[in-house]
């Protein structure tokens, strides 16, 4: 939970920073910040999943936060002009985030109805 909130805070700071750079760079930073924030909230939602019986959801935040942090960092690196360095690892970040969502999906089968 604490890592998710720190991740969300970092995304808000990046989003605020995006208002002080050119439009091209700003859109890249905004994309990273939005993905980072969305997955921070999903990680916090894992606690709710666990409270209603989906205990397997405890494994999802590692993938959600790890993937979103990697993706956001790659976007921030690209905004600095190093797109060639950042581009080849974006797929890895997407796979990590997808694994986190799949874990949440699988954990959902244990929710009491």
One pLDDT digit (tens) per residue for the chain, 113 residues: 667 777 777 887 787 777 667 777 888 888 888 989 888 888 888 888 888 888 889 999 999 999 999 999 998 888 888 877 777 788 898 899 999 999 988 988 877 65
Judged by DSSP in three states, 84 sits in helix
pLDDT of residue 1: 61
What long-range pairs does 4-7 form, CB within 8 A, spacing at least 24?
4/40, 4/41, 4/43, 4/44, 4/61, 4/65, 5/40, 5/44, 7/36, 7/37, 7/39, 7/40, 7/43, 7/65, 7/68, 7/69
Q: Which domain holds residue 50?
A: 2-110
pTM equals 0.81
Report how many domains make up the chain: 1
Pairwise CA distance, residues 10 & 36, whole Å: 8
pLDDT of residue 66: 93
């Amino acid at each position: 939970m604490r890592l998710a909130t720190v991740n969300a805070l970092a995304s808000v700071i990046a989003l605020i920073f995006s208002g002080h750079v050119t439009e091209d760079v700003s859109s890249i930073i905004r994309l990273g910040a939005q993905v980072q924030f969305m997955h921070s909230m999903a990680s916090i939602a894992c606690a709710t999943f666990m409270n209603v019986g989906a205990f397997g959801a405890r494994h999802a935040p590692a993938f959600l936060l790890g993937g979103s942090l990697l993706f956001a960092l790659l976007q921030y690196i690209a905004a600095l002009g190093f797109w060639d360095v950042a581009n080849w690892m974006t797929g890895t970040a997407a796979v990590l985030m997808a694994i986190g969502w799949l874990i949440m999906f699988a954990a959902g089968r244990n929710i009491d109805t």
